[in-house]
Amino acid sequence: MQLEKVFAIHWAKLYPMYLKKVVAKGRSQDELDAVIQWLTGYTAADLRALEQGDVDLRAFFAQAPAFNPDAHLVTGTVCGVRVEEVADPLMRQVRQLDKLVDELAKGRAMGKILRA
């Protein structure tokens, strides 16, 4: 998939897919929100508002209140791609979020997911 197509995905369509994935594995919306908040700085209220809006991934990450300076600690593979080797900065942020959601769905402890 071309980068621009990925960046044009609307948050209001992506968030429910993330939620479905983690809930199916026994995790909660609060845990998903905590992971997203850790990475981006959005609050739970911000995330609810974004679900109702028309924000794409480019804007979602550009408007993030406080992208976590420890995001570089999110490493590993997502769909066969090493997160830390992704050249495009925005795509790396997308992959970091994907990786965190995958870790949550796989049952990893919150402390480890949040790199505490």
CA distances from 47 to 22, 84, 106 (A): 16, 26, 22
Task: Tell me which residue has tokens 């402890």.
Answer: 109
pLDDT at 87: 95
- Statement: residue 88 has pLDDT above 70: yes
Span 39-86, pLDDT tens digits: 999 999 999 999 998 999 999 999 999 999 999 999 999 989 999 999
Question: Could you give the CA distance from residue 110 to residue 12 in angstroms, rounded to a whole number?
Answer: 24
Residue-wise DSSP of 41-94: ---HHHHHHHHHS--BHHHHHHT-S---GGGGG--SEETTEEGGG--SHHHHHH
52 within 8 A of 12, measured Cβ to Cβ: yes
pLDDT at 72: 96
Question: Could you give the CA distance from residue 100 to residue 105 in angstroms, rounded to a whole number?
Answer: 9
Average pLDDT over residues 79-108: 96
pLDDT at 77: 95
- Specify the range with the lowest mean pLDDT, choosing from 1-5, 9-13, 29-33, 99-103: 1-5
Say yes or no: domain 3-113 is CATH 3.40.190.10.
no
Residue 18 is which amino acid? Y
Q: Locate the domains of the chain by residue range.
A: 3-113
